[in-house]
Amino acid sequence: MKVIYSLVLVAVATLAVVATGLPIYNRGITVIGPDGKPLVGAVVVAEKLDGTRVELTIGPEGYFTVKEVPLGILKVTIVSWKGVPIGYTVYVTPRNATITCPKIHMVTVRVVGARGQGLEGASVSIYYNNVLVERGSTDSSGVFKTLLPEETYKLRVEYGGKKVETSLESPGTKTVGFDVFIVLAGWQLSTTEFIGLIVLTAIIIVMIIVISYEYMAWRRRRLVKTFVK
């Protein structure tokens, strides 16, 4: 229904412009994501009723301006963001100066260890068609979040010299696990390494006890010999 209404509106507006040539506006349009923040770097194409097309890139301020717009009506297509195609089209009128793109979603990457604990500081890289589109690291709970257009991506996670590659969907959540049982003094120990460390520690303790016992026994024998003499 909205599409039919938009097409009728454009047709009527076009006839009005042709018949009268009035009115003409300068339009400032804001483009934001679902979080309300500007889609900085997004590529958009604005088309006037007379067919004139303008391609722009959204700057840090989050909006773009098109001059001399008949009736203030524009056909705006968000072409891409972060180098990922979107292809979302909407008509804007003098009553609507903000576009919220519905094809952008939150993706969550959770990196966990062998006990299910979050791993802080894991390196997260996200690729589209083998081109890096996002990079960051996990927080104290082992989570990394970002906004991405609806697509399938390649996810690469690195932690403690180990690397895992898998796919990632937007929207979606992906959990990546590493065999890290515990981190001691900056060393990431796997389950096997941790058990080995415990066993080694136990052996060292037993050896110290045996050596201490033998030393004390040797001292007692020496004292006895000295006393007998």
pLDDT reported for residue 95: 84
Same fold across 2-100 and 104-183: yes
pLDDT digits (tens, 9 = 90+) for 95-120: 888 999 999 999 999 999 989 999 99
pLDDT reported for residue 179: 82
In the chain the first and final C-alpha atoms are separated, in Å, by: 115
Residues pairing with 219 in the sheet: none
Residue for token pair 């895992």: 164
Record the tokens describing residue 113, joined without a space.
């260890």
pLDDT reported for residue 208: 82
Q: Which of 59, 55, 68 is nearest to 23 (CA)?
A: 68
**2-100 topology per CATH:** Immunoglobulin-like (2.60.40)
C-alpha–C-alpha distance, residues 31 and 150, integer Å? 17
pLDDT reported for residue 198: 64
CA torsion sign, 204 to 207 to 209 to 211?
negative
pLDDT reported for residue 195: 61
- pLDDT beneath 70: ranges in the chain: 1-22, 181-201, 218, 221-229
pLDDT reported for residue 226: 67
The residues spanned by each domain of the chain are: 2-100, 104-183, 190-223
pLDDT reported for residue 16: 47
The CATH homologous superfamily for domain 104-183 is Carboxypeptidase-like, regulatory domain (2.60.40.1120)
pLDDT reported for residue 136: 97
Record the tokens describing residue 32, joined without a space.
């934001």
pTM: 0.72
